Amino acid sequence: MDRTRATRQKTLKSAVRCAGVGLHSGQATTMTLHPAAIDAGITFRRADAGVEIGANWRNLVSSCLCSTLAENGVSVGTVEHLMAAFAGLEIDNALVEIDGAEVPAMDGSAAPFVALIERAGVAEQHAPRRAIEVLKPVHVASEGAEASLEPAAVFSVNFVIDFASGAVGRQRLAVSPDPMNFRHGIARARTFGFLEEVQQMHAAGLALGGSLDNAVVIGEDGVINKEGLRYRDEFVRHKVLDAMGDLYLAGGPIIGRFAGHRSGHALNRRLLQRLFADSKAWRFTTLEAETATAWSEAPHRATA
């Protein structure tokens, strides 16, 4: 495989704005995506608090329902869908200005953020992309869930979910996404939950912004959203989306193979901590262009 041409860093051509309600807080927020300089990375600026928070694993704080970043006592939550859009469209540098503590849920997927980025336009910058290359396997596990990274020539995700609900069941997806396939194969997959759990969370003051407009809800008889599913395996595709967003908090694209089995935000966070705790497990490298990008999908519903 020819890997002789370095790919260039990318940012936005112009600022673009959106507004919406936080999935967990229920609070209305306005968010503006701005261009950023070479090597700036992704940064969140809490306009209401005057604090900037780097979008990297060091700033991740404990959270099981979403990925939350915090610095100097100020946080911004549910960053994973926006980070997945940045990862999927290969945006290296951007400033995210937000006037509240949670990224708007929009429709529960990364598609609205992809549309925002495309509306702003993508600008190539005169510097090579820096990536994190996995040099040896790292693995974490907890309560029947597992996540791992191992060396590979390109970034790929292999994810398995396994739910007792017949509407979800066991699904597996293996992908090596490029921007085009991310747009069409992953970005539109929405977050999901079970009606009983949603009702319990609402009673506990959680998921206050969740609705059928920004989540797939599963009842006793299956999906209750009138429009049904966007993909027949939308559930595992959303877990791949979440993983892509979480892993982009490494501080750049990863060159390596990620495998997740029932993994969530907390375990993905532990995996990044485990990777960077071992200086022999990774290194910075220049991301090279490739003459061909692999894209493969495992069967929509695994049989074993």
Find the largest Cα–Cα distance for the chain: 56
End-to-end CA distance of the chain: 33
Q: What single-letter amino acid sits at 205? A: G
Beta strand segments in 170-220, E = 170-175, 192-194, 216-219
Distance CA(298)–CA(171), nearest Å, equals: 9
Look up tokens 């206050």; give the residue: 208
Angle at 85 between CA 83 and CA 88, to 5 degrees: 110
- Write out the catalytic residue numbers: 265
For the chain, give me the number of helices (H) and strands (E)?
A: 6, 21
Give strand pairing partners of 138.
149
Distance CA(273)–CA(77), nearest Å, equals: 19
